[in-house]
Amino acid sequence: MHLKNLKLLQFKNYAKAEFQFSPEINCLVGKNGSGKTNILDAIHYLCLTKSAINGADSLAVQHGFDFFTLMGDFEREGKSLEVRCVVESGKKKQLLQNGKAIDKMSEHVGLLPIVLIAPDDTRLISEGSEDRRRFFDSMLCQLDRQYMDQLVRYQHFLKQRNALIKLFADKGKWQEELMEPYNRELIQGSKVLAAKRQAFVDEYSPLLVDYYSFISDAQEPVSISYETQCLEEDFDTAFRAAASKDFVLKRSTMGIHKDDFVFQIGGYPIKKFGSQGQQKSFVIGLKLAQFQVFHAHLQVKPLLLLDDIFDKLDDGRISQLMKLVADHAFGQLFITDARPERSKEILKGINAECVFFELRS
């Protein structure tokens, strides 16, 4: 699978631009602020219908305009697919496949897999459990439609239950029978989703271990453990028993929205005990394992976007990563770098078509 070309209209700093990409390596070079990452974000939009950087669509429109359009021709399993994304302020976001509008964005997600390695990925380690849940949920949603439907349903009922708890708190009275429909849904949803998360981590974790030791050339053992209460035998009772706590705290305190994925190194949390270098290797391992899982499940190699990583990684890690590139482990690759000479130097010895794009603001 690869992206043949990309057209941007009023997207971020691009009033109008067009790029023809190589199916192998594409290197976007230019000074800071020239719009390298914005191109990666445009590709992210076409694949996942949203920005990788910030949530609001309106922020991606060029200043002074009220809409943007992105157009890209993909080739997927020998067939061409034209994807167009139109965002106009005050209107519903539109996504068209070969000129045909897609009603539900969720139908598009998962069709064009993509993996982005970006400088702020270490957030996955440093920030709270919400970022990690989002990372794993986003992968699961792209691989498993039922997971996505269940998750949407779960989140809806969670919102309703929290609203109900607030109503109860205002009245100062807890009505168990009214809570029961929501308890039932959340308990059942938690069990299904937690089982799927567990199965996914079991499959994903060995890949991470492999890639970590490859990238870092180090022997310390790393692991991911999925922490949840939802798979315990007495989860039903525990969920209902937490009612009084829920009442005091005015929110639901049990369920998969409380899960965490704990990243460990040598048996200790990497957040507290990992060096900066170990953390960087770990997040690259996470992303490469993501690439591998997508490839295995979807039978296509995802697009790989490497945002500014030459700046953040030391030579040893870069050369390991480039070994993978030279082995053709990846499909189409997009790399951004502020220093063209460095990229040229790094990519010189690689036997693959490599196209450079010089961007000026």
- Which of helix, strand or coil describes residue 73? strand
**Alpha-carbon distance 329 to 333, whole Å?**
11
Please, what is the minimum distance in Å from the beta carbon of residue 254 to other proteins? Answer: 18
From 213, 204, 352, 222, select the one nearest 291 (Cα to Cα): 204
Please, what is the minimum distance in Å from the beta carbon of residue 253 to other proteins? Answer: 17
- Paired strand residues for 27: 335, 356
Please, what is the minimum distance in Å from the beta carbon of residue 247 to other proteins? Answer: 14
Cβ closer to other proteins: 182 or 330?
182
Is 31 flagged in the annotation as binding? yes
Burial of 259 (0-12, 13-18, 19+ CB in 10 A): buried
CB 85 within 8 A of CB 61: no
Which x/- pattern over 134-173 shows residues binding other proteins (rule: CB under 8 A)? ---------------x---x--xx-xxx-xx-xx------
Cβ closer to other proteins: 31 or 153?
153
- Give Cβ neighbours of residue 100 (< 8 Å, ≥ 6 apart): none
Is 30 flagged in the annotation as binding? yes
Is 7 flagged in the annotation as binding? no
Please, what is the minimum distance in Å from the beta carbon of residue 101 to other proteins? Answer: 17
Scan for tokens 């394992």, then name that residue: 289
The token duo for 50 is 């949203």
Binding segment toward other proteins, per CB under 8 A, in 177-185, 238-246, 252-260, 353-361: 177-185
Is 128 flagged in the annotation as binding? no
- Give Cβ neighbours of residue 125 (< 8 Å, ≥ 6 apart): 263, 270, 271, 274, 279, 282, 283
Burial of 18 (0-12, 13-18, 19+ CB in 10 A): exposed
- For residue 177, state whether it binds other proteins (rule: CB under 8 A): yes
Q: Which of 178, 195, 241, 248 binds other proteins (CB under 8 A)?
A: 178
- Which of helix, strand or coil describes residue 311? helix
Cβ closer to other proteins: 12 or 257?
257
Cβ closer to other proteins: 119 or 181?
181
Cβ closer to other proteins: 142 or 183?
183
The CB-side HSE value for 321 (13 A sphere, CA atoms) comes to 22
Please, what is the minimum distance in Å from the beta carbon of residue 157 to other proteins? Answer: 7
Tell me which residues touch other proteins (CB under 8 A): 149, 153, 156-157, 159-161, 163-164, 166-167, 177-178, 180-182, 184-185
Binding site listing for ATP: 30-37
